[in-house]
Amino acid sequence: MCGRFVITSPPEALRQFFGYFEQPNFPPRFNVAPTQPIPVVINHDGRHFRLMRWGFWPAWVKDPRKFTHLINARAETVKEKPAFKNAIRRRRCLIPADGYYEWQSMEGGKRPYFVHRRDGAPIAFAGVAETWIGPNGEEVETVAIVTAPASVDLAVLHPRVPVAIAPLDFGFWLDCRSDEADSVTPLMRGPEKGEFAWHEISSRVNHVANDDAQLVLPITEEQREAERPKPKKASARKVASADFDDGQGSLF
């Protein structure tokens, strides 16, 4: 899945990579989280840059406050799910990124990892978008990232990964004139084995307020030791006699 990602490439480099007309200037982001505005590339008489809210709202939602945030859409069901079946046919988009975070379950809790292309190139996440129109006419552009089963190497972190569209397929993915999605189904797959690399990072990334370049650096031994779960203290209990000493000491 994808619940946090980073955008660190210079704005002009992303503009050249994705080929949109606009020249936005935005700072690097090291901890992009759901509900925040994120860069999105769409095709409307040419490629364009937009900011959309990460967290998909289908057009038929009456009150978003009572609706679950849909940050991901499964490739296997995106064409049939009522929330996404129109968007995958008519409003496919690309989401620029330079990597994402994944948490691996292990004894003692979960550990975060930074996942990125092995060659260091930007990533184009496959996305589906929807413009939600409220009862007072307000409009909110929303988006979700399409996910697929992970390759055998990435599956050690999580069974699902974001779908990444190759540059040669940008135009094909963004072209929604045919009003169908069967032709792009082969594109909705995870990266090939060996295409992505990853390393363990500090649990500072768990807090959305932390948004700095240190988040993507490999964890140091000092950090790992500091973040190691502390052993739980044994429950203190009263002893029957003041003369009893089990060698453990007593709080009473």
For the chain, counts of helices (H) and of strands (E):
4, 12
Amino acid sitting at position 98: D
Question: How far is Cα 252 from Cα 84, in angstroms, rounded to an integer?
Answer: 62
Amino acid sitting at position 249: G
Question: How far is Cα 32 from Cα 184, in angstroms, rounded to an integer?
Answer: 27
Q: Is residue 102 flagged as an active site residue?
A: yes
Spatial contact of 140 and 228, defined as CB atoms under 8 Å apart: no
- Alpha carbon of residue 46 to chain centroid: 26
Spatial contact of 97 and 103, defined as CB atoms under 8 Å apart: no
Question: How far is Cα 162 from Cα 142, in angstroms, rounded to an integer?
Answer: 17
Structure letter (DSSP) for residue 152: T
Tokens 């950090």 correspond to what residue? 223
- List 22, 93, 102, 107, catalytic entry: 102
Catalytic residues: 2, 102
